[in-house]
């Protein structure tokens, strides 16, 4: 089973709201990712968690706050977003990371995404 689940599927929020996106995988993967994808553009990496620790933050504004409560769950907390933050937010996971001993190559499996609209 290569399933990554994301909730909610759609989210509309005002610029003063606080909301959270959730991602879950039960494949035993040790790395999890958040991506942002605008229409007709490729996914842009936001954050990488490796073994439940934040390993990459691609200079994302502080109004996006990631959290990895355990190896199966990944959250993205949203606060004071701007209309330009409206996008499809994708979660992905992989078995390991290039930094792992042995340096194996791991494909990423993506969830269906959360369509976020900021009004």
Q: Cβ of residue 35: shortest distance to another protein, in angstroms?
A: 9
**Rounded distance between C-alpha atoms, residue 60 and residue 45, angstroms:** 9
Q: Does 109 bind another protein (CB under 8 A)?
A: yes
Among the listed residues 74, 92, 116, 118, the single contact to another protein using CB under 8 A: 92
Nearer to another protein, 5 or 82 (CB): 5
For residue 51, what is the DSSP state? T
Contact 97, 91 (CB under 8 A): no
CA distances from 92 to 17, 21, 47, 83, 87 (A): 25, 13, 10, 24, 16
Q: Does 1 bind another protein (CB under 8 A)?
A: no
Contact characters 28-57, another protein, x per CB under 8 A: ---x---------xxx-x--x-x----xx-
């Amino acid at each position: 089973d290569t399933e990554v689940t994301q909730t909610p599927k759609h989210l509309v929020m005002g610029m003063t709201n606080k909301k959270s996106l959730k991602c879950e995988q039960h494949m035993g993967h040790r790395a999890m990712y958040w991506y942002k994808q605008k229409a007709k553009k490729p996914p842009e990496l936001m954050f990488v968690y490796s073994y439940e620790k934040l390993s990459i933050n691609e200079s994302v504004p502080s109004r996006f706050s990631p959290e990895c409560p355990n190896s199966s769950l990944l959250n993205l907390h949203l606060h004071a977003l701007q209309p330009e933050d409206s996008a499809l937010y994708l979660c992905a996971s992989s078995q390991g990371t290039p930094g792992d001993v042995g340096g194996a190559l791991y494909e990423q499996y993506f969830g269906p995404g959360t369509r976020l609209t900021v009004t």
